[in-house]
């Protein structure tokens, strides 16, 4: 069965790079750029993993993460938070992020983190 990641990133070039990397590794990648839309999508079609930007329109990544962790149906869903601001790591961890990655990151870093989150 194909693994599915929901990528929530409002910067098109970053989203396309991550999509390319993960698709090449066998992932099915869905992409949204709005936090509120992402929360609704996860509840409708839970992915195997969420990669969530911190700063998003509609609802911040941390607000989305807090809502996911508060819902018993999505509480254990693996979530990686991405941000351009490294100082946001503590807030992401407090909100329940499984992993955290600062932008910029290398292709090999994101792939290694995703594989590690899924036990590969």
pTM, two decimals, is 0.93
Q: What is the pLDDT along the chain (120 residues), one digit of tens a residue?
A: 589 999 999 999 999 999 999 999 999 999 999 999 999 999 999 999 999 999 898 899 999 999 999 999 999 999 999 987 767 788 888 889 999 998 888 999 999 999 999 986
Peptide bond into 120 cis (omega under 30): no
d(CA 84, CA 22): 20
Could you give the C-alpha distances from 59 to 2, 3, 8, 65, 82, in angstroms and in order? 29, 26, 11, 10, 15
Spell out the domains of the chain, with CATH numbers in brackets: 3-117 (3.40.50.2300)
The whole-number pLDDT of residue 83 equals 84
Q: How many whole angstroms separate alpha carbon 18 and alpha carbon 111? A: 9
What pLDDT score was predicted for residue 115?
Answer: 94
Residue at token pair 């870093």 = 109
Write out the two tokens for 6: 């929901």
């Amino acid at each position: 069965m194909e693994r599915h990641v929901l990528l929530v990133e409002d910067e098109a070039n970053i989203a396309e790079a991550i999509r390319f990397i993960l698709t090449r590794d066998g992932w099915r990648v869905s992409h949204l750029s709005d936090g509120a839309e992402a929360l609704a999508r996860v509840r409708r079609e839970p992915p195997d993993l969420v990669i969530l930007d911190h700063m998003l329109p509609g609802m911040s990544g941390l607000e989305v993460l807090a809502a996911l962790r508060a819902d018993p149906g999505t509480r254990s869903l693996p979530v990686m938070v991405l941000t351009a601001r490294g100082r946001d790591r503590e807030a992401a961890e407090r909100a329940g992020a499984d992993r955290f990655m600062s932008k910029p990151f290398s292709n090999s870093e994101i792939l290694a983190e995703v594989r590690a989150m899924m036990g590969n």
